[in-house]
Amino acid sequence: MVFSLAKSLAVVLAAGLLNVLAVAPAVAQGTVRRHLVYFRDKAGTPFSVAQPQAFLSARSVARRTRQGIAVLPRDLPVNPAYVTQVRGVSGRPEVLYTSRWFNAAVVSCDSATLARITALPAVRSAATLNRSFRSVSPTLPPEQVAPAAARGTVATRAKYGMAYRQNEQIGALAMHDAGFRGEGMQIAVFDAGFPGVNQIPALQPLYQEQRLVSTRNFVDGGRDVYQRSSHGTNCLSAMAGNQEGFYIGSAPKATFHLCLTEDVNSEHPIEEANWLAAAEYADSVGVDIISSSLGYTTFDAPSVSYTYADMNGKTAISSRAATIAARVGILVVSAAGNEGANPWRYISAPADADSIISVGAVDSLGIRASFSSYGPTSDGRVKPTLAAMGRAAAVLAPNGTAFRGNGTSYACPILAGMVAGFWQANPTLTAQQVIAALRNTASQSTAPNASLGYGIPNFVKAYNALNPGTPLDTTDGRAASGEELGLFPNPIGDGLLTLALPAELRGKPLSVRVLDARGAVVGRQQLAASTATTAPLKLGRLAKGTYLCEVSAGSVRRTVKFVQQ
């Protein structure tokens, strides 16, 4: 449906943010649609790159300065005189917002009015963003996965609740223990709605500590985002959840901006224009990271859908916007897409954008989820960039309960939260240096592929590579001496197995747990203390699949992956 902004809405941060201009509703002489109107230039603008404080916040300017990024003419707001000319066209067109980066405006009007707008000397061209409107319908619940029947009871697992494994897998537990929980980092979340966020107990610290600093609704206008789809609530919780003993996300102390950009009741390029608007808003307020669990490939008729050839980072509106966001120093984290088992198969926009992190999905054992979209981009760049847990990932529902769901949508914020902590721990890095550090130390760094890109990153590995003089202790399954926990034969059938023990597990009573791909404990065994380098293990017959064997002695825990044939 078409939304008309209230007359009382004001321009935020002068003309620098994506300006929401207050006008009366259009008088429709035909079907009213939304259009992206491009201007020819920024000639005569009253703004200057020498005075960015007139259209960018101090935090936005500081982010650029810290990374050696200049304010460029693309950052200048649209010439207000051009906007006035559009508003003055007969038919009373409604200018919803303007785009600095695209030098354009999103205008709501009928086709006759649009023809008069495109005849203006200041206008270069126009493209229609939506072709039809649907009445609001109930949102389908997210895909849920039944919880595992049994779970571990060690202290850290009890502290993090169902979010334990997804944090552990990328080193976020060690990150938190080292004192990096996202403090001082600002994350903008782009999604389809955030109902319940202002009521969920695990998210109340956001309000109590004043770490939810802004909300914007780019679909309906205004600031109410606690509505529509619960997808945004799920994704935010994966980072911001902070209720010890129940659920802790990957960035429980970060500061957030919530942007509602997606209309789940239809699929048209207007939603990509909303993404663009939100990205420019995020830039203007000084956001460090964008977490976007949205993707665009196929639109409702008669809007023209993308093809795989369009996944080149230069065609889709959202991809072009994401690339510019990266150019101004924002670290963009985007879900790769859930098309891996579908005819489309490949990543979606804006995951094809250059210089961003596109996130694929794995299960708790690091095995690629079948739905996770494949790369590369159509111009041959490695995608996805990295991967995190998106199969049976734990998130929160609007009523505050925790459940497990599937999707790169969940892998994206889980990883984005770790990115925030990593950047916090290494504040002198640029956004692109952060991406390089995580990519260069990820599980497939030496052999990236079209399934998971450079693989699963780990905070400790990346941190230690950058800080060799002050390394953190690793808990990723590798002993401090460089020895690994081993298990053979692998793959296994029936019969006796043998554990190869690193030095730090010898001479101590050992507790052994075996977990399946969903994180359920399917086997336990206690081993007496021994100085031997190996230990026998009898598990019995397991169902075919991939498993994780976890061996612990006090606070020391090591893991090894194996396959049951």
Task: Specify the amino acid at residue 350.
Answer: P
Torsion of CA 95, 99, 103, 108, to 10 degrees: -20
Cα dihedral sign for 194, 284, 316, 406? negative
Question: d(Cα 320, Cα 444) in Å, to the nearest integer?
Answer: 28
Question: d(Cα 442, Cα 385) in Å, to the nearest integer?
Answer: 10
Residue 143 has a pLDDT of: 53
Closest CA to 360 of 279, 275, 439, 465: 439
Residue 362 has a pLDDT of: 97
Tokens of 206: 């956001």
Phi, psi of 524 (to 5 degrees): -140, 150
| pLDDT in 10s for each residue of the chain, 565 residues | 222 222 222 222 333 334 433 333 333 357 999 999 999 999 989 999 999 999 999 999 999 999 999 999 999 999 999 999 999 999 999 999 999 999 999 999 999 999 999 999 999 999 999 865 443 333 334 455 554 433 333 437 889 999 999 999 999 999 999 999 999 999 999 999 999 999 999 999 999 999 999 999 999 999 999 999 999 999 999 999 999 999 999 999 999 999 999 999 989 999 999 999 999 999 999 999 999 999 999 999 999 999 999 999 999 999 999 999 999 999 999 999 999 999 999 999 999 999 999 999 999 999 999 999 999 999 999 999 999 999 999 999 999 999 999 999 999 999 999 999 999 999 999 999 999 999 999 999 999 999 999 999 999 999 999 998 888 865 443 333 346 788 878 777 666 788 888 888 989 999 998 888 777 788 889 999 988 888 888 877 788 887 888 898 887 888 888 878 7
Question: d(Cα 485, Cα 9) in Å, to the nearest integer?
Answer: 61
Q: How far apart are the first and last CA of the chain?
A: 54
Phi, psi of 138 (to 5 degrees): -60, 140
Closest CA to 23 of 78, 77, 98, 102: 98
Residue 215 β-bridge partners: 258
The 3-class SS string of 9-42 reads CCCCCCCCCCCCCCCCCCCCCCCCEEEEEEECCC
Mapped onto helix, strand or coil, the DSSP state of residue 5 is coil
Tokens of 346: 């490949």
Residues with a known catalytic role: 191, 231, 409
Residue 503 has a pLDDT of: 84
Phi, psi of 214 (to 5 degrees): -160, 155
Q: What structural domains and CATH numbers belong to the chain?
A: 33-128 (no CATH), 161-466 (3.40.50.200), 486-564 (2.60.40.3080)
Residue whose structure tokens are 């399954």: 477
CB 275 within 8 A of CB 291: no
CB 386 within 8 A of CB 413: no
162 contacts: CB under 8 Å, gap ≥ 6: 147, 247, 394, 402, 404
CB 500 within 8 A of CB 486: yes
Residue 564 β-bridge partners: 492, 545
CB 174 within 8 A of CB 459: yes
Residue 395 β-bridge partners: 403
Residue 198 has a pLDDT of: 97
Q: Is the peptide bond preceding residue 384 cis, with omega within 30 degrees of 0?
A: yes
Question: d(Cα 361, Cα 170) in Å, to the nearest integer?
Answer: 12
Whole-number CA gyration radius for the chain: 25
Full-model pTM: 0.80
Residue 236 has a pLDDT of: 98
The 3-class SS string of 385-403 reads CEEEECCCEEEECCCCCEE
Residue 145 has a pLDDT of: 56
Q: How far is CA 468 from CA 132, 171, 463, 487, in A?
A: 57, 17, 8, 30
Residue 135 has a pLDDT of: 34
